[in-house]
Amino acid sequence: MIPVLALALALLTEPAPGDGLRLAPDPSAGPALAPSAASPASSGTPWLPVGAALGGLAAGAAALAAGFWTTRREDGEAVGSAEPLVVFVPGHGSGPAAGVFAHLAMLMGIDPTDARYFDYRWADGGTDHVGASQNASIDETADALAGYLAGLSALGRPLYVVGFSKGGAGIAELVARWDRGQPGAANVAGAALLDPPLASGIHGFLQSLGTLWGPLADDGGYHPVGCSLWGCTDSRAHLGETSGVQVMVVRNPQSGVTNFADIPEGLTVYEASDGGPGFWDTLFTRPWALMSRISEAHNAVLHDPRVADCIVAEMWGTDSCSLPPAGGGSNVPSWLENLVPGGEAAGADPRLPSLV
């Protein structure tokens, strides 16, 4: 229990300088994006299911309009091209996505005209990038992203979606919906999830602490394991197989708490260690530097040439990613995943209810 208490205390009391514990800090100050063509929709009230549903529907419509007007501007310019459009989705506490992904896009060799950027203001309805990325729930994110991709699909070009941190969780939620039969996956060839907070159990609860205070870590309330009278299912298992979306995950095992420890069946996971000390090494040797180390390790995937090359290889289907496949858990031990009786070991998800 001592390491768990130390972790929780550190998460709550010791934000690192600058970006702190945001699961997706903005590593560079990119140019401000123009507001979406449609008026942003207000998010639903958390405790009113009907209000939340209407808020999500409106958010999706706003993002659909944004994609539609982008399509109108480019129609006839790129229709029929085999060159994929790469859609970047930032994470919690992020500024404009163009700045977050500037270095990664350069390493990938993407022409600026082939890059598109998701804006959390379409999901939250706010006017501030950071505030919107902190306030948007995972459901609102998936709704708005679905609308945006639907608008872009009118170009007739394949789409490849890249999400960092909470953005990766939002993509995972949307692909899981497509796997369950929701339309929208036709033009999406694949997705890369970079150091995504896809954990469940106690680990997943810790990744949702940003719902209490924005600058803390947050996965938007992502909830991968669902249970009913007939058993439990993990939406991460075989993610994208039913909908035909090729999903791969790249994580830095040294960042520990910002991604996930287990490897769901049928999910391609690569390791991209930055070579620095791990979570537990830092906790027990330099606890005062824990938060800055987590942030550093988490952001490393955005600046690693191996990660960029792996994404390009997966995007073009060459099966030439040089990163090693994950052969085990991250630096968060299995006992943390199974701390609560009846938790993941029993197939249930014991996470406390999200406050989003």
356 occurs within a structural domain: no
Q: How confident is the model at residue 54 (pLDDT cuts 50, 70, 90)?
A: very low
Asked if 128 and 93 touch (Cβ cutoff 8 Å), the reply is no
Asked if 11 and 108 touch (Cβ cutoff 8 Å), the reply is no
Average pLDDT score over residue span 56-80? 43
Asked if 177 and 151 touch (Cβ cutoff 8 Å), the reply is no
Whether pLDDT at 256 is above 60: yes
- For the CA atoms of 204, 209, 211, 214, what is the dihedral angle to 10 degrees? -130
Q: Which domain holds residue 8?
A: 2-346
Q: How many domains does the chain have?
A: 1
Q: How confident is the model at residue 214 (pLDDT cuts 50, 70, 90)?
A: low
CATH number, position 125: 3.40.50
351 occurs within a structural domain: no
Tell me the per-residue pLDDT of 123-159, one tens digit each, with 9 for 90 and over. 988 889 999 999 999 999 999 999 999 999 999 999 9
Q: Which of 127, 102, 136 is nearest to 117 (CA)?
A: 102
Degrees, nearest 5: CA angle 28-197-168: 60
Stretch among 169-183, 282-296, 339-353 having the lowest mean pLDDT? 339-353
Q: How confident is the model at residue 211 (pLDDT cuts 50, 70, 90)?
A: low
Mean pLDDT value across the chain: 76
188 occurs within a structural domain: yes
161 occurs within a structural domain: yes
Whether pLDDT at 249 is above 90: yes
Whether pLDDT at 333 is above 70: no
Which letter does DSSP use for residue 246 in this model? E
10 Å Cβ neighbour count for 35?
13
351's tokens: 């996470």
Give the residue, 45 or 114, on which the prediction is more confident: 114
176 occurs within a structural domain: yes
Q: How confident is the model at residue 20 (pLDDT cuts 50, 70, 90)?
A: very low
Give the residue, 180 or 341, on which the prediction is more confident: 180
Q: Please list the alpha-helical segments (H only) found in the chain.
A: 2-13, 49-74, 97-100, 102-108, 121-124, 129-135, 138-153, 166-179, 201-206, 279-285, 290-299, 305-315, 334-337
Judged by DSSP in three states, 325 sits in strand
353 occurs within a structural domain: no
279 occurs within a structural domain: yes
Question: 68 Cβ partners below 8 Å, 6+ apart?
Answer: 37, 151, 154
352 occurs within a structural domain: no
Query: What residue type is 28 in one-letter code?
Result: S
